[in-house]
Structure 1
């Protein structure tokens, strides 16, 4: 027999409702504000219902920032980065989890230092490297420096470590090469972890601002965060256009998360509990 606690259920439901409101209300106001002019956005009280300036804001956004091209830039860069970095992190995680070689733990610990080193420290060396390669104002300069992302490697290493060693050994005994063993044996149980990794990598690149701002120069090659930041003027700022662009930028993030969210939590927890 289980004992029910109505008071606890009401408290839990109330807490979840408050948390939902804290998350949903800012997004609602973002969408509503994107349909108003810059002057109306700063009215007191602020507007709570949609206005009639969405078309004007989108037109201004397109004329000022070439926003259609910018959205394609961000989508292309983020998708290519997710595939490339996901491949690198998966291969590295598999190697750290399944191979035994001298200096493995020291090398992994050195890699994990990347989690605590501030990104700003690496900006100048990376910029000089991109300049020497003549990659400035190119998409590979945005994608390449973060392919071996420490958190991604850590996530995949922990997930791969949870695989039964006997499963891999049986695949080797059947004559599987290492790449085929990874593809046929190791990766199918790793779908939740791969989904979590894909979400993390896509959002990381989609929201990245500092590094694209440094290496991209032409406004037609900007990503969304850089393009929106360029709309902030010294004398006047079109906040309606900026909020409209921000609303559009939130759509792919929401779609990616909704498509993979059922794997997300289980993927992050894979390998965290030892039996």
Structure 2
């Protein structure tokens, strides 16, 4: 019994140490964002500000246009999430429960495409969107999020857990396929829908490469792209960069912490279905 107690204490201490290592950079980032200009440039860098100040946050919103970039990121991530759910959830259900010619073969090809790096398709996609006149538009920035193969796989695996008897009973009662999807399938898929929505929102919010390529007008920049551009202009202003990083990270971190139980539940459920 005593040996188990010692092992439990040692395990908890190890977990606490690892958590401290992970959280320390984030905590220091927040601390530096409240320091005066140049205060973090000394060695060794201070852990806490000598004088707490909001000057960098005021400068970012009043001078650097960070409010505009924050809105761009929120609008783009919200639209990406809504469109991804609209396309992916019905498709995942169809691959799981509806019968049509070539269903399994098409799904196997889609899953095989997961091993192909997304960067390979960046240039062809950009050239296609250029021909369509969608460069420097939100529509072009949204295209990669319309139908994620991983999201399709996630929804399909979870939808396999829906009993066929439940669907057949609804059909016998005279419900159409649309009614079955709205009244039976969607409530059952709620955990994986929340998981997928959070996954897409976080991914589109944090995406840097594709918005950098497709959005050429600075007024359309998202937060990650704007922060990178800002770092080139104020490379020596560590405190302002940390304030910009806090503004970029804080919204999605709060969202994830608020919905993490749904995210983890959906990921675990989706990993064992089928």
Calculate the TM-score normalised by the size of structure 1.
Answer: 0.92
Residue 226 of structure 2 aligns with which residue? 227
Q: Any conservation in 2 of the 1:162–1:271 contact (CA below 8 Å)?
A: no
Q: How many angstroms apart in 1 are the aligned matches of 2:65 and 2:233?
A: 20
Q: How many angstroms apart in 2 are the aligned matches of 1:115 and 1:157?
A: 15
Residues 25 and 93 (structure 1), Cα distance of their counterparts in 2 relative to 1, 3 Å cut: same
Q: How many angstroms apart in 2 are the aligned matches of 1:198 and 1:111?
A: 20
Q: How many angstroms apart in 2 are the aligned matches of 1:166 and 1:3?
A: 51
Residues 234 and 84 (structure 1), Cα distance of their counterparts in 2 relative to 1, 3 Å cut: closer
Residue 269 of structure 2 aligns with which residue? 270
Q: How many angstroms apart in 2 are the aligned matches of 1:9 and 1:215?
A: 51
Is 2:112 the counterpart of 1:107? no
Unaligned 5+ segments in structure 1 are: none
Q: Any conservation in 2 of the 1:33–1:240 contact (CA below 8 Å)?
A: yes
Residues 9 and 235 (structure 1), Cα distance of their counterparts in 2 relative to 1, 3 Å cut: closer
**1:83 shift after superposition:** 1.1
Q: How many angstroms apart in 2 are the aligned matches of 1:215 and 1:223?
A: 11
Q: Any conservation in 2 of the 1:158–1:272 contact (CA below 8 Å)?
A: yes
Q: Any conservation in 2 of the 1:71–1:223 contact (CA below 8 Å)?
A: yes
- Paired residues for 1:44-193 under 5 Å: 44-52=43-51, 54-62=53-61, 65-193=64-192
Residues 167 and 14 (structure 1), Cα distance of their counterparts in 2 relative to 1, 3 Å cut: same
Q: Secondary structure at the match of 2:232?
A: coil
Q: Secondary structure at the match of 1:232?
A: helix
Residue 26 of structure 2 aligns with which residue? 27
Q: Any conservation in 2 of the 1:37–1:53 contact (CA below 8 Å)?
A: yes
**1:81 shift after superposition:** 0.7
Unaligned 5+ segments in structure 2 are: none
Q: How many angstroms apart in 1 are the aligned matches of 2:214 and 2:52?
A: 34
Q: Deviations over 1:201-226 (max 9, x none)?
A: 01110000000001111111100000
Calculate the TM-score normalised by the size of structure 2.
Answer: 0.92
**1:82 shift after superposition:** 0.6
**1:168 shift after superposition:** 1.0
Q: Any conservation in 1 of the 2:136–2:220 contact (CA below 8 Å)?
A: yes
Q: Any conservation in 2 of the 1:231–1:237 contact (CA below 8 Å)?
A: no
Matched pairs, number = 274
Q: How many angstroms apart in 1 are the aligned matches of 2:12 and 2:269?
A: 28
Q: CA RMSD in A?
A: 2.1
Residues 51 and 170 (structure 1), Cα distance of their counterparts in 2 relative to 1, 3 Å cut: farther
Greater Cα shift, 41-50 or 235-244:
235-244
Residues 53 and 4 (structure 1), Cα distance of their counterparts in 2 relative to 1, 3 Å cut: closer
